[in-house]
Amino acid sequence: MELTVTDLAVARGGVPVLEGVSFTVMAGEALVLRGPNGCGKTTLLRTVAGLQPALAGQIGLEREAMAYAGHSDGIKAVLSVRENLQFWADVFATGSIEPALEAFDLNGLKDRPAGSLSAGQKRRLGLARMVVTGRPVWVLDEPTVSLDVSAVEMFAGAVRTHLRGGGLALMATHIDLGLDEARVLDVRPFKAKAPALDDFDGAFL
């Protein structure tokens, strides 16, 4: 399993933000995207995850291989931690949520309504969802926001377990996770040159 992206160009709101992005991530490897705010990291990740079409270029894997975690966690406040996680386990047909609860130390919280969790605990629940998807490619957008030091450690451990199991990860983050398997890709050189709008209607489609 490897994720190969060739000559990818992505646009946000009809304006091209990145072009000519090429990289390969092998199984057991993580690629960390770096770059200033607004340079297109989120757009690139959403495109790779199949949430929006690419302007040009190829993504080597089907979207069925990807599990995506964005800025918001998709947590229902009135459902308990266990119900939230079990829902995604049922949707992805993976069954057990115990390893995910274990990996993010959520066992003590599992019967609490998710609305009563702190921001960091919610984030942990959101990341635990990645474990229950059982998909080989994790696409993570700023996964460590609102996590404290020990929770970041927990997350790094979960990523490490995932990589060791033959998975791969693509993430945008600014902090060092201490992962030996991680390579860093700076997206600044891929900044799109001409914000040409040749297809006006395209912005609305």
Partner 1 sequence: MIALLTRDLRLAVRAGGGFGLGLAFFLIVVVLVPFGVGPQSALLAKIASGILWLGSLLACLLSLDRIFALDWEDGSLDLLATAPVPLEAAVSIKALAHWLTTGLPLVVAAPVFGMLLNLPGPGYGPVVLSLLLGTPALSVIGTFGAALTVGIKRGGLLLSLLVLPLYVPTLIFGAEVARRGADQMDYSTPMLLLAGISCGAIALLPFASAAVLRVNLR
Residues of this chain that bind partner 1 (CB under 8 A) = 49-53, 63-64, 66-79, 83, 87-88, 90-93, 129, 205
Measured from the CB atom, the residue of 42 and 173 that comes closer to partner 1 is: 42
CB of 49 to partner 1, least distance (A): 6
CB of 141 to partner 1, least distance (A): 10
Measured from the CB atom, the residue of 198 and 204 that comes closer to partner 1 is: 204
CB of 117 to partner 1, least distance (A): 13
CB of 113 to partner 1, least distance (A): 9
Measured from the CB atom, the residue of 194 and 205 that comes closer to partner 1 is: 205
Measured from the CB atom, the residue of 8 and 69 that comes closer to partner 1 is: 69
Measured from the CB atom, the residue of 37 and 72 that comes closer to partner 1 is: 72
User: Per residue, what are the HEC states of the chain?
Assistant: CEEEEEEEEEEECCEEEEEEEEEEEECCCEEEEECCCCCCHHHHHHHHCCCCCCCEEEECCCHHHEEEECCCCCCCCCCEHHHHHHHHHHHCCCCCCHHHHHHCCCHHHCCCEHHHCCHHHHHHHHHHHHHHHCCCEEEEECCCCCCCHHHHHHHHHHHHHHHHCCCEEEEECCCCCCCCCEEEEECHHHECCCCCCCCCHHHHC
Measured from the CB atom, the residue of 76 and 188 that comes closer to partner 1 is: 76
CB of 25 to partner 1, least distance (A): 18
Sign of CA dihedral 42, 44, 48, 54: positive
Q: Which residues are CB-neighbours of 98 under 8 A, at least 6 positions away?
A: none
CB of 161 to partner 1, least distance (A): 21
